[in-house]
């Protein structure tokens, strides 16, 4: 983490402009470690005297789409239209963009972590992009652990059938490994 922090801080100090917010995006598959990295980075920045705020893209999920997607999946009525709707509409990018703009007014750095954030709806706000590349089996194990800890009753199959599939589509369309400034490869 220390070397990652030094790299990010060095880039921030090189690229920052007077009275201009610096926005960092942390991307990867579900359960890749985005939230953990975001929190750790935020803490390190604060210890260095750099005012920052972190946003979790999950907080901007379209609840109606999320509920309807999981309900259709659980009932066995899941189809391509449901998948397309999930992929295209799960995140309210406009609300996320507006929240980041407001936070930018009072913070030197804003961190946004989450899935799909390098799509055209949001990608152009980032000064620095981090992509966490982890093996799907590791992410699945983390999801299973998280389900137990949080009492999440969603079936494990949503990870494979919805999240991994959506992530694979995203990777094939966006190629986040190529557009990121920092690629962190995990287990």
List, in order of start, the domains of the chain with CATH numbers: 2-185 (3.40.50.300)
Query: What pTM did the predictor assign?
Result: 0.92
Q: What is the pLDDT of residue 114?
A: 97
Report the C-alpha gap between 164 and 135 in whole angstroms.
11
Structural contact between residues 187 and 135, judged by C-beta atoms closer than 8 angstroms = yes
Q: What is the pLDDT of residue 51?
A: 93
Q: Evaluate if residue 2 carries a pLDDT over 90.
A: no
Report the C-alpha gap between 79 and 58 in whole angstroms.
23
What percentage of the chain carries pLDDT values higher than 70?
Answer: 98
Nearest to 186 by CA among 150, 122, 123, 141: 141
Q: Evaluate if residue 135 carries a pLDDT over 90.
A: yes
End-to-end alpha carbon distance in the chain: 15
Kindly report the average pLDDT of the chain as a whole number. 92
Q: What is the pLDDT of residue 10?
A: 85
Nearest to 131 by CA among 33, 14, 28: 28
Report the C-alpha gap between 14 and 148 in whole angstroms.
43
Structural contact between residues 56 and 110, judged by C-beta atoms closer than 8 angstroms = no
Q: What is the pLDDT of residue 1?
A: 64
Q: Evaluate if residue 160 carries a pLDDT over 80.
A: yes
């Amino acid at each position: 983490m220390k070397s990652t922090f030094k790299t990010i801080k060095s880039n921030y100090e090189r690229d920052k402009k007077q009275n201009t917010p610096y926005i960092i995006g942390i991307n990867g598959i579900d359960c890749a470690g985005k939230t953990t990295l975001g929190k750790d980075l935020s803490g390190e920045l604060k210890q260095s005297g750099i005012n920052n705020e972190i946003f979790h893209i999950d907080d901007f999920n379209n609840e109606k789409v999320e509920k309807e997607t999981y309900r259709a999946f659980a009932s066995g009525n899941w189809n391509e239209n449901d998948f397309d709707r999930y992929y295209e509409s799960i995140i309210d990018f406009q609300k996320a963009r507006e929240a980041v703009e407001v936070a930018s007014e009072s913070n030197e750095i804003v961190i946004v972590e989450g899935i799909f954030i390098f799509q055209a709806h949001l990608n152009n706000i980032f000064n620095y992009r981090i992509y966490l590349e982890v093996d799907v089996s590791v992410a699945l194990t983390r999801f299973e652990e998280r389900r137990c800890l949080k009492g999440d009753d969603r079936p494990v199959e949503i990870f494979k059938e919805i999240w991994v599939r959506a992530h694979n589509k995203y990777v094939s369309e966006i190629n986040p490994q190529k557009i990121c400034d920092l690629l962190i490869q995990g287990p």
